[in-house]
Structure 1
Amino acid sequence: MDDLNKIIDKKIGEVRTESLDFSFGEIVNMHKADEPEIIIQPDYQRLFRWTDVQKSRLIESILLELPIPQIFVIEKENAVLELIDGLQRISSVIQFIDPKSLGKEPLKLQGCDLIEELNDNTFEDLPLKLKLLIKRSSVRTVIIKRQSQSFLRYSMFKRLNTGGAILAPQEIRNCSARVMGDEGEKFYKFLQKMADYPSFVLCTKILPEQEKEKKGDEELVLRFFAAKNDPESFKSKVPDWLDIYMEKVITRKIDFQYEKEEREFKKVFDILGNTLGEIAFASYRKKKPVKNLSPAYYEAITIGTFRLLEQISRISMDAIKHKIINTVQSDEFKQYTGSGANKPEMLKGRIKVIETALLELIHE
């Protein structure tokens, strides 16, 4: 038990925090300064999905002097603060007081149900007393000091943001990676770059737009590398598997060779783009492709293709296309993609079916 106490004491010492009360007026000024003292990363801003009613009710709560939950920021090396939790609250207040600094239209209050007279007012419409009340109201701000270990900062961000429904898993991964520092930033940008590769974009065109907005395309890129490089970490839950793999990359627990990985990724998707195109990962009904992207098909086809990359590069594109289309419609393949598809043996099975089919093509 003494050993456990020591371990916990050591971990506590690895995270340094400070709590301050910042007024909303201070935060607005810090954000819009020529050299901003508090920043909201553009990628975080894209995740800002509160409705105008939710924003308005926050302003109403501030005017009624109701408690506002604390926010969390990270102190960067240059002492600038970066917001990692409290995005909706802070962005709502900034949009209300100084919408230009966010590149947004002025917020006109709506849906206020405790003070209905607030509705249809912008910040400029309010009397001076209320403007000053909002600006002088404060929010408790927890600063994670720059001396804290990067992985613990990363873990804190994940824990702060996995409880709510506002962020999709890949959005949390992307933001978490940036919290890690240079290695996280590097991997995050790599995922973005691969998601923008034309052949990948073509092959994943049938991914629903709402999934792309939640970074579903970047999650597919990550899924390719996890299935290619770390299938043994897959137990049953895909989100956990992808989290584990990404953490291994950005903490350098595995050697992720960026140039090599990029070349292999592009070769796989160039082949699939030239053979299957938009229907690369579609399932089939009555021998016709269904316009939905099946992750199980995606894993099997991409990894099966990767494993025989050099050999099939000498096979005709038309032959590869027909072989994959016929294989994914076979009973053998379907037994690994139906009920219980998210099991390790099912993942291995469907990849093996594609790999075997392409081997047959090579040996014909």
Structure 2
Amino acid sequence: MPLEQEVLEGRQEIHTDAYSMSIGEIVNLYRDGELEIHPEFQREFRWKLSQKSRLIESILLGIPLPSIFVAQRNDGVWDVVDGLQRISTILSFMGELLDESGCKVEQLVLEKTPYLPSLEGVSWDNGMPDDLKRAFKREKFDVKIIKKESDENAKFELFQRLNTGGAGLSEQEVRNCLLLMVNRKSYEWLKERSKNENFINCLNLTDRLIDEKYEMELVLRFICIVKYDKSAPIDDEDMGPFLTTQMKRLMVDNDFAFENETKLFDTTFNILARLKGEDAFRRYSQPKQKHEGQFSVSLFECISAGVAFAIQQGQTEVEISSKLSTLVVTLADNPNFNEATKHGMRGINRLPKLVDLARELFR
């Protein structure tokens, strides 16, 4: 296809508009429920107080700010695609930000900044002069609108491009936002499974991984592996894009069998938690005769998938537990496992090998 035709078709997938809007207008949209920043992803805790204070300083000084991107839903509400941290900081400073329960968050109290040291201890209702409040509300943002007529895949792509890399969202947080915007039920299911007590008891994650919602990624990995179809070609070059593609394929449509998938997930991790707990996905040292080290995603992929396959085959918990008790202490020395997980092996290439191994070990 000629380049000109590709460009033309690509442009037809995304319909955009743009407005220059004052902070006051943006706040009014938020108050009226016409601008959704999703409390689940405000993530203002990721911004230090110094960063928040510098943003307010920039606005007061009239320094131009980057554009905000929003996606228009079918109901006309705007979902913030990029600029969430800036908007949530502004709302927090003005005392308008709501938490997940709909209650107002405590007003942001600023610290001194390089150009405005007198901001130390200032909040909207304490120390902010009325004339500066008026000027603050009149400052403007350029708002770029991805209209509802745009292709959903194009919205996914744009959101990923704007929110990955640097100090932005983790890959799973991006997926969570995407899923929340297009299929809240699937997002809530993923979130609920990630809180399953047996599932959590099998993991040994660092605070950083928990902070980045890695446990939700592991739920998604489990679903993608269990439903992996070797006959379907993989177009993605890495595991991250693959998980995003599969999430869209499996969980965005209304065909996802929530009840069946919940039963499979819960049964799998009930067995794993009861037998091995936090050692389920840690390597076993034969010389030391004990599990050691941190959580291994390769062990997670192979063992959890194997247990799920066995459940789907109708094996009893006694049969599965018998195989599992041996496997958790021998898998790390399995030559096929070591070949699939050797240094330099990309996750996307590891996946089919581990799926085959899991099926074989729990046959």
Asked if these proteins are the same fold (TM beyond 0.5), I'd say: yes
| Structure 1 runs not aligned, ≥5 long | 360-364
- Deviation per CA, 1:212-268: give whole Å up to 9, x if none: 22111110011112222226439763212212212322565x964443333322332
Once residues 165 and 230 of structure 1 are traced to their aligned partners in structure 2, the CA distance between those partners, rounded to angstroms, is 32
Aligned to 1:313: 316
- Deviation per CA, 1:324-361: give whole Å up to 9, x if none: 232134253445434234356644545555554545xx
TM-score by length of 1: 0.85
Contact 1:168 1:214 survives alignment (8 Å): yes
Could you tell me how far 1:196 is from its partner in structure 2? 2.6
Please state whether the residue corresponding to 1:240 is helix, strand or coil: helix
Q: 1:47 to 1:231 in 2, by over 3 A?
A: farther
2:198 alignment partner AA = S
Aligned to 1:224: 222
User: Is residue 324 of structure 1 aligned with residue 323 of structure 2?
Assistant: no
Aligned to 1:362: none
Aligned to 2:185: 186
2:117 alignment partner AA = E
- What percent identity do the matched residue pairs reach? 31
2:341 alignment partner AA = T
Aligned to 1:337: 341
Could you tell me how far 1:278 is from its partner in structure 2? 2.2
Once residues 345 and 134 of structure 1 are traced to their aligned partners in structure 2, the CA distance between those partners, rounded to angstroms, is 52
2:295 is aligned, of 283, 293, 296, to 293
1:237 alignment partner AA = D
Map 1:252-263; keep pairs closer than 5 Å.
Answer: 256-263=256-263
Contact 1:323 1:358 survives alignment (8 Å): no
Contact 1:28 1:98 survives alignment (8 Å): no
| Structure 2 runs not aligned, ≥5 long | none
Could you tell me how far 1:113 is from its partner in structure 2? 0.5
TM-score by length of 2: 0.86
Contact 2:71 2:78 survives alignment (8 Å): yes
Contact 1:327 1:354 survives alignment (8 Å): no
Please state whether the residue corresponding to 1:18 is helix, strand or coil: strand
Most deviating of 219-228 and 98-107: 98-107
Most deviating of 318-327 and 295-304: 318-327
Q: 1:48 to 1:12 in 2, by over 3 A?
A: farther
Contact 1:70 1:141 survives alignment (8 Å): yes
Map 1:146-225; keep pairs closer than 5 Å.
Answer: 146-179=148-181, 181=182, 184-204=183-203, 206-225=204-223
Could you tell me how far 1:313 is from its partner in structure 2? 1.7
Most deviating of 226-235 and 160-169: 226-235
Please state whether the residue corresponding to 2:58 is helix, strand or coil: helix
Q: 1:32 to 1:330 in 2, by over 3 A?
A: same
Q: 1:318 to 1:186 in 2, by over 3 A?
A: closer
Aligned to 2:29: 30
Please state whether the residue corresponding to 1:293 is helix, strand or coil: coil
Please state whether the residue corresponding to 1:123 is helix, strand or coil: coil
Once residues 342 and 222 of structure 2 are traced to their aligned partners in structure 1, the CA distance between those partners, rounded to angstroms, is 20
Could you tell me how far 1:289 is from its partner in structure 2? 1.8
2:71 alignment partner AA = I
1:67 is aligned, of 64, 69, 78, to 64
2:161 alignment partner AA = R
Q: How many residues are matched?
A: 351
Could you tell me how far 1:19 is from its partner in structure 2? 0.9
1:80 alignment partner AA = V
Could you tell me how far 1:316 is from its partner in structure 2? 5.5
Q: 1:93 to 1:346 in 2, by over 3 A?
A: closer
Please state whether the residue corresponding to 1:12 is helix, strand or coil: helix
